[in-house]
Amino acid sequence: MTGRIALALAIHNHQPVGNFGWVFEDVYETAYAPLLDALERHPGVRLSLHYTGPLIEWIQAEHPDFVQRLGALVARDQVEMLGGGYYEPVLVSLPERDRHGQLVRMADDVERLFGRRPRGAWLAERVWEPQLPSALADAGYDWTILDDNHFRAAAIAEDAMWGAYVTEDQGRLLRVFGTEQGLRYRIPFGDPADVIAHLRDHATEDGRRLGMMGDDGEKFGAWPGTYEHCWGGNRWIDRFFGLLEENAGWLATVTPSAWLDREPPAGRIYVPTASYIEMGEWALPAAESTVFTALVKRAFEHDLPEKRYLRGGFWRNFQARYREINDLHKQMLRVSAKVDALRDGDEKQAALDHLYRGQSNDCYWHGLFGGIYIVHMRLATYAHLIAAEDIADRAAERKPGPVDAGAGPALLAPGNGAALFDTDLDGVPEAYLATPGEIVVVDLAEGAGIGSWDLRATRLALAAVMRRRPEAYHATLKAHEEAIALAPDAASPVTGPAAVDGVDAGAPGDPSGAGAPKTIHDIVATKEPGLSRLLVYDRHERRSGLVHVVPAGSVVEAFRRQEHEEIADLVDGPYRVDRLVDGELDAERDGRLAGQPVLARKTLRVGGGRLDPWLAFELTVEHRGDAAVQADLVVEWNVDLAGGGGNPAAFYAVPPGAAPSTAAPSTAAPSTAAPSTAGPSAAGPSGAASSSALRRYAHDSAEEPGRLPWLVFGNDAEGVEIRATFQEPAEVAWYPVETVSNSEAGFERQYQGSCLLLRWPLALAPGESRNVEVRFDVSSTRDHLVEETAPRP
């Protein structure tokens, strides 16, 4: 008797909050639209589809006919729509109220668009924790899809993964499917006939086995090499769908809910914290990830029994690995508490919308590529959190609502004023200063550096600059470049044909076979030669107002390469609060400079209005030793103004008569744009030369314009201009902070912000003090809140 089996395909389609519109359109044309076309050509193929909130909003605006066509497939029971968190958050990272709100919002939207409330929830990055069954069930969901890695962690045998299991939390029931490894590896990278053969091998006489394959829709046309493979000459999808229809007598395609309606659970399961196995690699520190990855590769290549027990790290560990991710996450928690405290109404709904967008998962982790390192998405995520907090603070100031005493320290953050509390939840308090136009957070334990400087009107997170740190994949880049050096014809940058289409010749025993495209996890290519020269790792976090003391004449390039000599311990050691009042912080540190005792005192003042906030920084170094010292005093200021790629809108501008420094030139890659004599805006800095005479540079350039009394930097498109004025002229230099990350198309440099270095000579006799002051005056020509609430024509 011929065996029978069912196949449930679940295709997840997502574009992050803040991604470029042209990316949405490109992936729509190469993956989303072709798949819908194929489903209309093959009415016998049933599957489930998931579109995240950012994507479905874009589709409704740009391709409304797509939604209508998709609705027709839902109406004829060919497609089942999935729900989930609306803006694709990692649910376990959210407060329970936001977890529930995101899940219900997606269910409401799916029901509104397609007439049916979703029963299944897509789980972002398959990040699972044992409390999720109650959260999903409370939001009205019956089932979700996990990975084979989850099932192994729950001690489910390899041949027992063909079906749905039941689990629960606090008595709330949930059914879980597990993506079958063999199907995931073959679709769409194996021959379609091999997929059918694999299913036939696992068919049974009673037909009670289900093969589940849940994966990203972008791999069906948008990943490198897959468009030609799936939709071009290889016609993989049409061939596969055709085979499914031809074999429908024993191979049924079903939607997950239809399967659950007719089949009982295969058993009970309790799943520990888990995600897919690659996430377990990425969550580990770089050195440990390298070891773990090698163990996993060996275990799977040789089919070793221990492969079942290799799980790697824990998703939440990204908050420990990356200070920037933790800061983002804790700011999200703070904003969530403020928004929750608002009275119900239009303002709260507007704040919730921004909050939910700011919870999109993409910048809360980092894997093989993307994540927190993508600067435009990082800034977009911060912009939504700044917007939500701004709305909440303004509303609370006008009509304070009841404060929940159990909300935690987040509500200690005033809308205006100052407070000392643990903003990043590391057990050590930070200084928090807020005005109508800005929020500044100072990490006292790490150099009293400014880790957050948010402008409310323009919603810019000026301090959101990434630290350059080791990543496990940097070893792959180095090995790749070494191979090119030894055999230049054996490998090439991404401009070479093999790297462009990502085609793999195949390997013995590999189900992908010859000519199938590699997955994005396997492609090794570079977008430019010699990227490994940019692998420089920072000694400390990229905060602002950090104090360096270096030997006189130290070159800027030494700072960029992190090869400079520090002769004091004032950079990232702890400072104590001497005074904290509204608008002002005084912090001190007893340190050592060239072996001599010194007292370093930082004063930070904030003020101004919504469109013209200002920040003043004052540093005093008092010599308390018995021997004279001579050095250079350098203040480091890191700024993110979305200036990557020579963005003409982001700039530095200096007075016209500035003399270039005589210091050795930087070897950082220069901007392709020559200095411009055009001013940053129609109005130049007060008391300065006219704006038309200013020398303007790209914000991602490396320059040493010399000794200046002031300079200007900003972003025309964002409507922000910042004038830095020095009480005493400073020797000024800046360089781009660039990391090397992987992407779908290969390794590439990524701009993370600009490091501005302000230098003064330091000569102190015993008992003497040195004082320097910088004032940053912000001028904003845009107010996003006003733009959003203005009457529409």
CB 71 within 8 A of CB 124: no
What is the residue whose two structure tokens read 């397609």?
Answer: 114
Taking the C-alpha atoms of residue 789 and residue 793, their distance in angstroms, rounded to an integer, is: 12
Question: Cα 649 vs. chain centroid, distance in angstroms?
Answer: 23
Whether 118 shows a pLDDT value over 60: the answer reads yes
Number of Cβ within a 10 Å radius of residue 640: 27
Whether 427 shows a pLDDT value over 50: the answer reads yes
pLDDT over 90 percentage in the chain: 81
Confidence of residue 483 (pLDDT cuts 50, 70, 90): confident
Whether 686 shows a pLDDT value over 90: the answer reads no
Report helix, strand and coil shares of the chain as percent, to nearest 5: 35, 30, 40
8-state DSSP, 580? E
Instruction: Give the residue from 383, 386, 382, 540 showing the smallest Cα distance to 448.
Output: 540
The two tokens of residue 655 are: 């007075």
pTM of the model: 0.92
8-state DSSP, 4? B
The two tokens of residue 743 are: 């992407």
> Would you say the C-alpha torsion 463, 469, 472, 473 has a positive or negative sign?
positive
∠286-290-296 over CA atoms, to 5°?
135
The two tokens of residue 552 are: 């006189």
Lowest mean pLDDT among 31-45, 85-99, 145-159: 145-159
Tally of CA atoms within 13 A in the half-sphere of 663 that contains its CB: 21
One DSSP character per residue, 703-738 reads EEEEEEEEEEEEETTTTEEEEEEEEEEEEEEEEEEE
Average confidence (pLDDT) over 542-567: 95
> Phi, psi (5° rounding) for residue 72?
-65, -35
Taking the C-alpha atoms of residue 311 and residue 316, their distance in angstroms, rounded to an integer, is: 14
Confidence of residue 494 (pLDDT cuts 50, 70, 90): very low
Q: What pLDDT does residue 654 have?
A: 96
CB 417 within 8 A of CB 542: no
Q: What pLDDT does residue 336 have?
A: 97
Q: What pLDDT does residue 487 have?
A: 74
Q: Which residue has the higher pLDDT, 499 or 555?
A: 555
Instruction: Give the residue from 361, 456, 441 showing the smallest Cα distance to 409.
Output: 441
Q: What pLDDT does residue 499 have?
A: 27
Tally of CA atoms within 13 A in the half-sphere of 12 that contains its CB: 22
- Give the model confidence (pLDDT) of 172-212 as tens digits: 999 999 999 899 999 999 999 999 999 999 999 999 999 99
Average confidence (pLDDT) over 436-460: 98
Q: What pLDDT does residue 525 have?
A: 83
Catalytic residues: 125, 216
Whether 506 shows a pLDDT value over 60: the answer reads no
> Phi, psi (5° rounding) for residue 431?
-95, 130
Taking the C-alpha atoms of residue 159 and residue 463, their distance in angstroms, rounded to an integer, is: 51
**SS3 of residue 81 by DSSP:** strand
- Give the model confidence (pLDDT) of 693-711 as tens digits: 789 999 999 999 999 999 9
Entry field: residues in the chain: 793
Average confidence (pLDDT) over 366-374: 88
Average confidence (pLDDT) over 315-341: 97
Q: Would strands 79-81 and 47-51 be described as parallel, antiparallel, or unpaired?
A: parallel
Whether 492 shows a pLDDT value over 90: the answer reads no
Q: What pLDDT does residue 665 have?
A: 38
Whether 326 shows a pLDDT value over 50: the answer reads yes
Whether 430 shows a pLDDT value over 80: the answer reads yes
Reply yes or no: is the peptide bond before residue 188 cis, omega within 30 of 0.
yes
Taking the C-alpha atoms of residue 90 and residue 317, their distance in angstroms, rounded to an integer, is: 13
Q: Which residue has the higher pLDDT, 464 or 518?
A: 464
Taking the C-alpha atoms of residue 247 and residue 265, their distance in angstroms, rounded to an integer, is: 26
Q: Which residue has the higher pLDDT, 614 or 525?
A: 614
8-state DSSP, 573? S
The two tokens of residue 785 are: 């809140």
Q: Would strands 629-639 and 546-550 be described as parallel, antiparallel, or unpaired?
A: antiparallel
pLDDT over 70 percentage in the chain: 89
Taking the C-alpha atoms of residue 507 and residue 568, their distance in angstroms, rounded to an integer, is: 56
> Phi, psi (5° rounding) for residue 698?
-65, 145
Whether 669 shows a pLDDT value over 60: the answer reads no
Burial readout 195-217 (b: 16 or more C-beta within 10 A, e: otherwise): bbebbeebbeeeebbbbbbbbeb
Confidence of residue 520 (pLDDT cuts 50, 70, 90): low
Q: What pLDDT does residue 484 have?
A: 84
Instruction: Give the residue from 752, 744, 53 showing the smallest Cα distance to 367.
Output: 744
Lowest mean pLDDT among 355-359, 398-402, 637-641, 717-721: 398-402
Q: What pLDDT does residue 486 have?
A: 80
Burial readout 140-172 (b: 16 or more C-beta within 10 A, e: otherwise): bbbbbbbbbbbbbbbebeeeebbbbbbbebeee
Number of Cβ within a 10 Å radius of residue 115: 11
Helix axes 33-41, 64-75, angle to 10 degrees: 30
What's the chain's average pLDDT? 90
Average confidence (pLDDT) over 487-504: 41
> Longest C-alpha distance within the chain, in Å?
97
Taking the C-alpha atoms of residue 505 and residue 517, their distance in angstroms, rounded to an integer, is: 8
Average confidence (pLDDT) over 742-764: 92
Q: What pLDDT does residue 675 have?
A: 55
CB 263 within 8 A of CB 67: no
Whether 348 shows a pLDDT value over 90: the answer reads yes
> Would you say the C-alpha torsion 87, 89, 94, 100 has a positive or negative sign?
positive
Taking the C-alpha atoms of residue 453 and residue 699, their distance in angstroms, rounded to an integer, is: 18
Whether 555 shows a pLDDT value over 50: the answer reads yes
8-state DSSP, 204? B
Taking the C-alpha atoms of residue 754 and residue 273, their distance in angstroms, rounded to an integer, is: 38
Whether 689 shows a pLDDT value over 60: the answer reads no
In one-letter notation, the amino acid at residue 554 is S
One DSSP character per residue, 263-307 reads S--S-B----SB--HHHHHHTS-HHHHHHHHHHHHHHHHTT-GGG
Q: In the β-sheet with 417-421, what is the strand arrangement from edge to edge?
A: 417-421, 430-434, 438-443, 449-455, 460-461
What is the residue whose two structure tokens read 């849940």?
Answer: 214
Q: Which residue has the higher pLDDT, 407 or 72?
A: 72
Whether 389 shows a pLDDT value over 70: the answer reads yes
Q: What pLDDT does residue 146 have?
A: 97
Q: What pLDDT does residue 496 have?
A: 29
Number of H helices, E strands in the chain: 22, 27
Whether 61 shows a pLDDT value over 90: the answer reads yes
Whether 493 shows a pLDDT value over 50: the answer reads no
Whether 613 shows a pLDDT value over 90: the answer reads yes
CB 608 within 8 A of CB 429: no
Q: What is the CA radius of gyration of the chain?
A: 28
Lowest mean pLDDT among 79-83, 117-121, 477-481, 509-513: 509-513
